[in-house]
Amino acid sequence: MRNKFAVFLLIFLFLGVAGFFAGYSTLFKDNINEQGTSARLNKERAVIFYIKTGSTYDDVIKSLKRQQILHNIQTFKLVANRVNYAENVRPGRYLLSAGMSNLNIVRKLRSGGQDPVKITFNNIQNKEQLAEKIAEQLEPTKSEILQVLRDKRFLDSLQLTEESFPTIFLANTYEFYWNTSASGFVQRMLEEYHKFWNSSRLKKAEKLGLTPTEVIILASIIQKESNHYDEYPTIAGVYLNRLRIGMPLQADPTVMYALKKLGQSQRVYHKYLKIDSPYNTYINKGLPPGPICLPELKSIEQTLDAEEHKYVYFCAKEDFSGYHAFAETWQQHTENARKYQQALNQRNIR
């Protein structure tokens, strides 16, 4: 009798231990498949897993299988069913780190604890490029983003035109959740815009006789004129002087932008200075209708700190440093231009 009881006890203990290890394995064992054909680990040793807006539990399971993210999909489903994940599927971008257990994975997905995307705006020339860049990193499509950017009622509410609307997108690095909607993205950028234009910067713009929109348009031109931040305030002063005396800005970058809008991309020759475009600042006085790029925050700051001087002209220096020679009179400017042309001839540059 004792022998039977001992055998029964051993079997019971064995089953208990086996059950414990099975349960432990289901809940706490690493279930991230680092060798999956689609689930390649990034430099943080994590798999990036996306759940689209409107996805169901079945969609999540199919996606996990297709990308071969898990070692064992069945143990994942056991844990998911236990915590009713099917009723709590949340869209987003999730980093599933190497070594994560089913319990950790399900908890993260169920809570919607997604990981943000860092987006940097640079070298953006127009709305189309902006929408394309955002669509590459967030869930909304390019067409959905452009639809918001072209919404006339929305533009009117901001007292902006389709051309000037890009001025609210300040070139910087921002964090967004991947499933942020197109309208949510624009709203966030508006908040950043109003945060940037504090009372101090608004006073500087007012002192220059410009609105925030006009400051950004001018900064976009200056950024394309030079790669040297330290001369931006001087160039800003030149353009402000031209605006004050009613002289056209005569900025080559605006003509280049006009050519690009017409599908051309080339150097600005004299024959192009009469091209019919609102962005041609040789034939139109004042600022163009919108920015020719999204200027960096530093460019905007340097424009706001425009120098007060009497320069009205500038051209590239003959030392090819990328800096400019400034002049108050046409005669001085002609001499500076002659020196630069002579340097080009000496180097056989045409």
Please state the length of the chain: 350
Assess whether 191 and 203 both reside in one domain.
no
pLDDT score at 348: 76
Q: Is residue 132 part of a domain?
A: yes
Domain count, the chain: 3
- According to the model, what pLDDT value does residue 262 have? 73
Residues 28 and 105 in one domain: yes
Range of the domain at 248: 199-309
Is the residue at 4 inside a domain?
A: no
> At which of 162, 196, 230 does a domain end?
196
Residues 122 and 71 in one domain: no
Asked if 96 contacts 32 with a C-beta cutoff of 8 angstroms, the reply is yes
Q: 123 and 44 share a domain?
A: no
We report the CATH number of the domain holding residue 55 as: 3.30.1490.480
80 within domain boundaries: yes
pLDDT at residue number 98? 87
pLDDT tens by residue, the chain, 350 residues: 555 444 444 444 444 433 434 444 455 578 888 776 555 666 667 889 999 999 999 999 999 999 999 999 999 999 999 999 999 999 999 999 888 999 999 999 999 999 999 998 777 777 888 899 999 999 999 999 999 988 888 888 888 888 888 888 998 899 999 999 999 999 999 999 999 999 999 999 999 999 999 999 999 999 999 999 999 999 999 999 999 999 999 999 999 888 887 766 655 556 667 788 899 999 999 999 999 999 999 999 999 999 999 999 999 999 889 999 999 999 999 999 999 889 888 887 76
- Structural domain contains residue 128: yes
Does residue 327 lie in a domain region? no
pLDDT reported for residue 154? 84
Residue at 226 is within a domain: yes
Q: Residue 291: is it exposed, middle or buried by C-beta count within 10 angstroms (0-12/13-18/19+)?
A: buried
User: Are both 204 and 265 inside the same structural domain?
Assistant: yes
Q: How far apart are CA 5 and CA 1, in angstroms?
A: 6
Give the predicted TM-score (pTM) of the model. 0.81
Residues 275 and 232 in one domain: yes
Same domain, 185 and 213: no
Does the residue 304 lie in any domain?
yes
Nearest to 210 by CA among 286, 296, 159: 286
The whole-angstrom separation of Cα 293 and Cα 217 is 8
Q: Does residue 207 share a domain with residue 184?
A: no
Asked whether the beta carbons of 126 and 166 are under 8 A apart, the reply is yes
One domain, residues 223 and 299? yes
Boundary residue ending a domain (82, 111, 140): 111
**What dihedral angle (degrees, nearest 10) is formed by the CA atoms of 173, 155, 147, 218?**
-50
Structure tokens at 317: 């220096």
Identify whether residues 217 and 301 lie together within a single domain: yes
Among the candidates 275, 290, 309, a domain finishes at 309
Residue 146 lies in a domain: yes
Residues 96 and 127 in one domain: no
Give the tokens for residue 185.
Answer: 């993205």
pLDDT given at position 23: 46
**Which stretch of DSSP H or E encloses residue 176?**
strand 173-176
